[in-house]
A and B are shown apart, each in its own frame.
Chain A
Amino acid sequence: MSSEPLVAVEHLERNYGPFRAVRDVTFELRQGDVLGFLGPNGAGKSSTMRIITGSLAPSAGSIRINGLDLLEQPLAAKRHIGFLPEDPPLYRDLTVDEYLRYCGRLNGLRGQALTEGVRDARRRCGLAEAGQRLIGNLSRGFQQRVGIAQAIVHRPEVVVLDEPSIGLDPIQVREIRDLIRELGQAHGVILSSHLLPEVQAVCNRVQIIHEGRLVLSEALAELNECLAPTSLRVTLAEPVGEEALQGVAGVDAVEDLGSGTYRIRHQPDADPAEALAARAVHEGWGLRALIPEERSLEQTFVDLTLKEEAA
């Protein structure tokens, strides 16, 4: 199974009239991946997810789920997907158990498999005690869990979650993230969000989508490497002049920010902080602050989306 990706999307296009919501999106999802789909509101995240799950037809392109073409064998392919749309599709007049049983049946579960699937989904989503409660009476956080339970009740290989932590309080958000991380071990997970910390917290791969196009697709580890600090902010008691700082080993460039503050650029693997501190003490510059400037995912996100807009 390692050779066949769980989801293979190629050159996906989706137009709403003249508006091109998704343009030439190509990506793969493999077992154990938690793929974060990141983008501002209206970037095409939800459209892409709806297309992958078969509730929206693409204008062009192909989607293979577990090797099955979604457009040619939709029923067989959809069995391998669990989907939580942006608004959890809950029937408020049913109890949690009734609802999950119905969802299991829709996905072809019967008898023993159905009972086990429901019990398992409930346990994993922290709903063990809530089986008899009416969905309409549950809090928002619990409803969201029921939504996720619905997506995993038939044990699909791929779980697609559209904005799973929207509208939850911080504690619920943390619980949902733990749950998603756990899901990532057994399933392939695709997750959309406009919250960067969330993606940084749970995903191992990140894709940034902007105006329907993928502008970045990388493993989070690699991305973090790119995001390694490459500048320092130094504040000295007295301005010493750029030339003096330039002389320190490892310093690439110096930028004077005024009143004794400088930004010092360096290579990711050659941090001059130590040398700089030693030199400052030795020369008596009066070092007041030495701060590594981290480039967050947020900065990258803003850079990428703004660059697109400027282009």
Chain B
Amino acid sequence: MTLTIAARELRALFLSPLAWGILAVTQVILGYLFLAGVDRFQRLQPRLGAIEGGPGVTEIVVVPLLANATTLLLLITPLVTMRLISAERAEGTLPLLLSAPVSMTRIVLGKYLGALGFLGVALIMLLLMPLSLYAGTTLDAGQLAAAVLGLALLTASFAAAGLFMSSLTRQPVVAAVSTFGLLLLLWILDWTGNVSGGIQEVIHYLSLTEHYKDLRQGVVSTADVVYYLLFITVFLVLSIRRLDVDRLHG
């Protein structure tokens, strides 16, 4: 049942020009950044070769590419998730799901998996670029895997927040704007600089990007992974609760 809803969601995304537009735009922008990175590497290569244990192609090309991809994903995820529940509300199709023998949890999970499916496609297309480097050189597979894991977790967190925002409203645009606002806030939390003492540490810990930095460097720490998983779970549970409230309070 969950997969039925997920498949329908994925299909609905690909039936709209928005999804194709998003994929095209991300691909063009990241393709440009990737080529710029490769070009920079080629210019630097003679000098880098001289340094013992200096940065390789993974650090010069791939890591900056994935770092830029996070910014782009921050921008596109709200557009992908905005319609998940709000559109069902607006078009009056929510009763179809609510009166079907499907639990709220499955509805929410189905919707979430549908959005993840689309974002997964975007990630794979992005990943093809660094993988193409294998044609001429070798990459640091460990670091690449850690960075991709981090990017996937980060994107999944964005999607969970977007799903929740979409469950709050009946207007997709409102859902998109509020998702973007929430993500941006969590993104820039660690820009606050010198807030006194312990608070600084808490704020630092909550920031979405902070946990991605280590993963990008190839350090997989359970604390970071668990942070993302908790983040996702919290927003999924909140979405389920929100739909339940609909049923209870009308």
Q: Decide yes or no whether A302 CB sits under 8 A from chain B.
A: no
Q: Decide yes or no whether A76 CB sits under 8 A from chain B.
A: yes
* Nearest B-chain residue to A16, judged by Cβ: B250
* Nearest A-chain residue to B4, judged by Cβ: A105
With contact pairs A106-B1, A106-B4 given, residues A89 and B92 touching in the complex (Cβ less than 8 Å): yes
Separation of A76 and B101 alpha carbons in the complex (Å): 7
User: How many pairs, one residue from A and one from B, have CB atoms within 8 Å of each other in the complex?
Assistant: 73
Mask: chain B, 168-201; 1 = CB below 8 Å from A; 0 = not = 0000000000000000000000000000000000
Number of B interface residues, CB 8 Å?
24
Q: Decide yes or no whether A189 CB sits under 8 A from chain B.
A: no
Q: Decide yes or no whether A83 CB sits under 8 A from chain B.
A: yes
Q: Decide yes or no whether A229 CB sits under 8 A from chain B.
A: no
Q: Decide yes or no whether A150 CB sits under 8 A from chain B.
A: yes
Pairwise interchain contact B101-A55, C-beta atoms closer than 8 A: no
Q: Decide yes or no whether A75 CB sits under 8 A from chain B.
A: yes
Separation of A57 and B91 alpha carbons in the complex (Å): 21
Q: Decide yes or no whether B102 CB sits under 8 A from chain A.
A: yes
Smallest distance from the beta carbon of B142 to chain A beta carbons, Å?
41
Q: Decide yes or no whether A102 CB sits under 8 A from chain B.
A: yes
Most B CB atoms within 10 A — which of A74, A87, A105? A105
Pairwise interchain contact B16-A56, C-beta atoms closer than 8 A: no
Pairwise interchain contact A106-B247, C-beta atoms closer than 8 A: no
Question: In the complex, what residues of A have CB within 8 A of residue B12's CB?
Answer: 91, 93
Question: In the complex, what residues of A have CB within 8 A of residue B15's CB?
Answer: 93
Pairwise interchain contact B96-A106, C-beta atoms closer than 8 A: yes
Chain B 50-75 interface residues, beta-carbon cutoff 8 Å to A: none
Choose one: A50, A78, A93; the contact of B101 (CB below 8 Å): A78
Question: In the complex, what residues of B have CB within 8 A of residue A76's CB?
Answer: 101
Question: In the complex, what residues of B have CB within 8 A of residue A89's CB?
Answer: 91-96
Question: In the complex, what residues of B have CB within 8 A of residue A279's CB?
Answer: none
Smallest distance from the beta carbon of A175 to chain B beta carbons, Å?
23
Smallest distance from the beta carbon of A38 to chain B beta carbons, Å?
22
Chain B 82-111 interface residues, beta-carbon cutoff 8 Å to A: 91-103
Choose one: B1, B16, B95, B103; the contact of A55 (CB below 8 Å): B95
Q: Decide yes or no whether A177 CB sits under 8 A from chain B.
A: no
Choose one: B93, B97, B101; the contact of A79 (CB below 8 Å): B101
Question: In the complex, what residues of A have CB within 8 A of residue B93's CB?
Answer: 89-91
Q: Decide yes or no whether B213 CB sits under 8 A from chain A.
A: no
Interface residues of A (CB under 8 A from B): 14, 16, 47, 50, 53-57, 74-79, 81, 83, 85, 87-93, 102-103, 105-108, 150
Q: A75-B103, A90-B93 are in contact. List 7 more A-B contacts (CB 8 A).
A: A53-B95, A53-B99, A55-B247, A83-B95, A89-B95, A90-B91, A93-B16
